[in-house]
Amino acid sequence: MAAENDWKKRLGVVYSTGDNFNYDKGESEEAETLPPQKQKLIISLDKKQRKGKTVSLITGFVGKSEDLEELGKELKKKCGTGGSAKDGEIIIQGDFRTRLSEILVKDGYTIKLR
């Protein structure tokens, strides 16, 4: 098995001959997860690009992707439905805006319904 070369990840990069040059891979560190009291989440209903199916969309989460996925898992479990959590938003299948707002307010989050 051949070792993976990282040159493929750097295509189109201009190289420097300087001794102290460090290549920036463009990876940014994730922001620390804010406590629930400082989070301002927006709950909305969405049908766009979902083949007409309705989903409850939660946006505005600030923090690590692991914490977002954990919150999404908890909300899916409490609503008894499927969904996903990625790219800073949580998608819950179906119209669960009122139930989600009750759960999040009980956990200490500040929410806004749209």
Query: Does the pLDDT of residue 5 top 70, yes or no?
Result: no
Specify if 5 maps to a domain.
no
Query: Is 22 inside a domain boundary?
Result: no
Q: Is residue 6 in a domain? A: no
Q: Is residue 60 part of a domain?
A: yes
Question: In Å, what is the CA distance from 71 to each residue of 8, 78, 105?
Answer: 35, 11, 13
Residue 15 has a pLDDT of 64
**Total number of domains constituting the chain:** 1
pLDDT of 110 strictly over 90:
yes
Whether residue 46 lies inside any domain: the answer is yes
For residue 65, the domain's CATH number is: 3.30.780.10
Q: Is residue 20 part of a domain?
A: no
CA distance 40 to 105: 11
The answer to whether residue 3 scores a pLDDT higher than 60 is no
* Number of other CB atoms surrounding residue 74 within 10 Å: 14
Instruction: Tell me the mean pLDDT in the region 92-98.
Output: 94
Whether 1 is covered by a domain: the verdict is no
* Structural domain span for residue 68: 31-113
pLDDT at residue 26 is higher than 80: no
Of the pLDDT bands very low, low, confident and very high (cuts 50, 70, 90), residue 98 is very high
pTM (two decimals): 0.72
| Mean pLDDT of the region 48-60 | 90
Confidence tier at 34 by pLDDT (50, 70, 90):
confident
